[in-house]
Amino acid sequence: MASEELTASGYIKHHLTNLTYGQHADGHWGFAHSAAEASEMGFWAIHVDTMFWSILLGGLLMFIFSRAAKSATAGTPNGLVNFAEWVIDFVDDNVKSTFHGNTPIVAPMVLTIFIWVLAMNLMDLVPVDWIPHLATMFGIHFMKVVPTTDPNATMGMSLTVFFLVLFYSIKVKGIGGFVGELTLQPFSAKFPFSIILLPINLFLEGVALLAKPVSLGLRLFGNLYAGEMIFILIALMYGGGIIAATSGGLLQLAWAIFHILVVVLQAFIFMVLTIVYLNMAHEHH
């Protein structure tokens, strides 16, 4: 990072580059030491920091909720149990009001999605230089600590939801019913004119179907990436003298307070859209 820190563009590029492990141009496998090397590694490269922080946060949430479950009693709940019950009731109310099927896996899955995405989003409130600077002390070149600013993470979650939508669409409606939804609407006509409309309907409904995972993943990524970029741009002000640094501190505080709303809202939207898509998969046309 030493040479890139000298310029604002180098600073921004460094903070937006993942710790990437993959195959180098000469054939050997290892970590990328620059943004150019990371981009050259191609599809099979692994963003180690995204994997590390997402798994770490998921494990931490499992530990917290398991502790809450073990300490739950019939009496007055303590702070941790009260928080866990509030989150569960909140998610359960949203599932009951939106999802009209009887698949028991939906509520636990949606609960996991909500708290996991929220935890990953909250990492955006950690000052942008703290953890990357600590990582450089151990010889780690890059460290992005917000997994949801990586489209690989957000699209991975959205594709998982999409595959579940396809699975339940076929399971509930059958292959014929699922294909019928894709080919017999929005335009309909009597035979033989309906044959002419089949490819048109398939194209329109296919685009609408494929747009679901794309919009679900890119919406979360875009909002968190933009928020992280603003934090990075504000951090640049700390190198512009005492007046710019003071202004930067005030801006950072104001943006962090506002960004709390974005962090929670994006986790909520991801959860609600997951429920809506799964409910649509269970509904007959």
Which of the residues 169, 201, 223, 279 is marked catalytic?
223
Structure tokens given for 219 = 């919406």
* Rounded-to-integer distance, Cα 277 and Cα 217, Å: 13
Give catalytic status of residue 67 as yes or no.
no
Q: Please give the sequence-ordered ranges of beta strands (E in DSSP) within the chain, or none if there are none.
A: 20-23, 29-31, 46-47
Which of the residues 66, 215, 247, 279 is marked catalytic?
215
| Closest C-alpha among 117, 128, 147, 137 to residue 49 | 147
Starting at the earlier edge strand, list the strands of the sheet with 20-23: 29-31, 20-23, 46-47
Give catalytic status of residue 223 as yes or no.
yes
* Rounded-to-integer distance, Cα 181 and Cα 153, Å: 30
Structure tokens given for 58 = 């998921």
Which of the residues 34, 152, 219, 247 is marked catalytic?
219
In angstroms, how far is CA 274 from the centroid of its own chain? 12
Structure tokens given for 100 = 């009209």
DSSP state of 241: -
| Closest C-alpha among 256, 275, 273, 262 to residue 128 | 256
User: Which residues does the annotation mark as catalytic?
Assistant: 215, 219, 223
